Chains A and B, each alone.
Chain A
Amino acid sequence: MNQNTDTFPAILHQLMELGEAMMASGAEVNRIEDTLNRLGKAYGAERMNVLVITSSIIITMVLPGGQELTQTRRILTPGGTDFTKMEQLNALSRQCCAHPLEADALGRQIRSICGNGLPRPGFYAGSILTAGSFTLFFGGNLMDAAIAMAFAVLVCLLQERLTPLCPNRIVFNLLAALLTGLGIGAAVHLFPILHGDKIMIGDIMLLIPGLAMTNSIRDMLVGDTISGIMRLIESLLWAAALAFGFMAAIWLIGG
């Protein structure tokens, strides 16, 4: 019994790891809270108090015998979206709910899932396809789509190389939009038959936080108001930075 209670800090630590990994894979706040609650109970907690917001996780576990155990985790990286990782973490937590793993084993599994980053071919192919599709979707012709696809590669390169250098996503969006806008502006200058606005909107779709904004409202509607507000404000600022970058590029090219 005593030994049993001693293992809880290590378990709770791994639950924090799991929560952070889920956040980094793009899982909803609501789902993370639900998963951590279930897992804690599966490990034998009498009660779980879980609060997840986009920038932090707080858990207090009530252990059998009434002792309480609290850990908190600050989350700094907003994280992207990785559905393979999300699925694997989901499968791991389902399996762990049914047959709780030792803390070490759980930690190893989480690390092995998180070890592999986004595969580059999928990321590039996805970006190119998305940019081309949306250029056509918003009324561009095939030539415009081809140019948008070429600039999608630039956007990918910027996301890979520029992100680590930028202090946050506002700065990144501003710079990425400025550079992409200058490139597209130059291309339209050289080939005036292209539709610069259609090409830009195709590439903007890669950077615009439209899904993040919609998800933020969803968060608020399902009851995670703080997370929702944080994400809403963030996505509006990100979008404003994008607009500012593109406008600056248009102004520089035009003037």
Chain B
Amino acid sequence: MELITAFTGSLGYALLFHLRAGPIPAASVGGMVSWGVYLLSCHFLDGIFVPSFLASAFAALYAEILARIKKAPATIFYAPAVIPLIPGSSLYYTMQSAVQGNWAAFESYGALTAQYALAIAAGMSFIWALCHIQRKLAHRPSGK
């Protein structure tokens, strides 16, 4: 069930972001599979940081590969794929606790949101850095 709604959620966001019809299926499948990676790694690992990192890194790698095949910016595949991971609800609950003055809940939700956001951003930046290095290595002989 979660996988299906992850798929339709990603699809919804792809439509919201005005993605062309062509890449939409690939981007929505990315959302489902990266959520699958998250669920699977939650099974084997403790906490949320490492699973989120892995799922985001997977989504980034998936996007980077598709981007090269289709000669399009990687973001258009990455953003929908990572949507199910985005800590939208915990960000909301963090701020809700702040508004209510419930500082204990604010702390725990805030820490959760920060972990998700950091892990997702780190997963993506990790792949970004690897791709950068790979590109530099690939272009070195012709560049000299």
**Could you tell me the distance between the alpha carbons of A81 and B14 in the complex, rounded to whole angstroms?**
10
B residues less than 8 Å from A221 (CB atoms): 121-122, 125
Nearest CB in chain A: distance from B40 CB, A: 17
Question: Do A130 and B73 touch across chains, with their CB atoms under 8 A apart?
Answer: no
Of the residues B20, B75, B91, B128, contact of A84 by C-beta under 8 Å: B20
Greatest chain A CB density within 10 A among B16, B19, B124 is at B16
Q: Determine if A195 is an interface residue (Cβ-Cβ < 8 Å).
A: no
Question: Do A28 and B91 touch across chains, with their CB atoms under 8 A apart?
Answer: no
B residues less than 8 Å from A129 (CB atoms): 8-9, 11-12, 15
B interface secondary structure, majority: helix
A-B contact pairs, 13 of them (CB 8 A): A83-B19, A86-B75, A86-B76, A118-B18, A123-B18, A126-B17, A132-B8, A134-B88, A204-B88, A206-B16, A214-B86, A239-B91, A243-B95
With both beta carbons as reference points, the residue of chain A lying nearest to B132 in the complex is identified as A222
B residues less than 8 Å from A123 (CB atoms): 15-16, 18
Q: Determine if A37 is an interface residue (Cβ-Cβ < 8 Å).
A: no
Nearest CB in chain A: distance from B80 CB, A: 9
Residue interface mask A48-87, B partner, CB < 8 A = 1: 0000000000000000000000000000000001111111
Q: Determine if B99 is an interface residue (Cβ-Cβ < 8 Å).
A: yes
Question: Do B125 and A247 touch across chains, with their CB atoms under 8 A apart?
Answer: no
Question: Do A137 and B73 touch across chains, with their CB atoms under 8 A apart?
Answer: no
Of the residues B20, B72, B100, contact of A90 by C-beta under 8 Å: B72
Contact (A126, B88) CB under 8 Å given A133-B8, A214-B117: no
Q: Determine if B103 is an interface residue (Cβ-Cβ < 8 Å).
A: no
**Could you tell me the distance between the alpha carbons of A204 and B89 in the complex, rounded to whole angstroms?**
8
Nearest CB in chain B: distance from A212 CB, A: 10
Contact (A201, B89) CB under 8 Å given A118-B18, A137-B9, A239-B95: yes
**Could you tell me the distance between the alpha carbons of A132 and B12 in the complex, rounded to whole angstroms?**
9
B residues less than 8 Å from A189 (CB atoms): none
CB under 8 Å from chain A, chain B span 1-41: 1-2, 5-6, 8-9, 11-20
Greatest chain A CB density within 10 A among B2, B18, B117 is at B18
**Could you tell me the distance between the alpha carbons of A210 and B93 in the complex, rounded to whole angstroms?**
12
A residues less than 8 Å from B87 (CB atoms): 210, 213-214
A interface secondary structure, majority: helix
Q: Tell me the count of chain B residues lying within 8 A, CB to CB, of chain A.
A: 47
With both beta carbons as reference points, the residue of chain B lying nearest to A116 in the complex is identified as B18
Nearest CB in chain B: distance from A27 CB, A: 7
Nearest CB in chain A: distance from B59 CB, A: 11
Closest 4 CB pairs of A and B: A126-B15, A130-B12, A126-B16, A129-B12
**Could you tell me the distance between the alpha carbons of A222 and B124 in the complex, rounded to whole angstroms?**
10
**Could you tell me the distance between the alpha carbons of A205 and B9 in the complex, rounded to whole angstroms?**
10
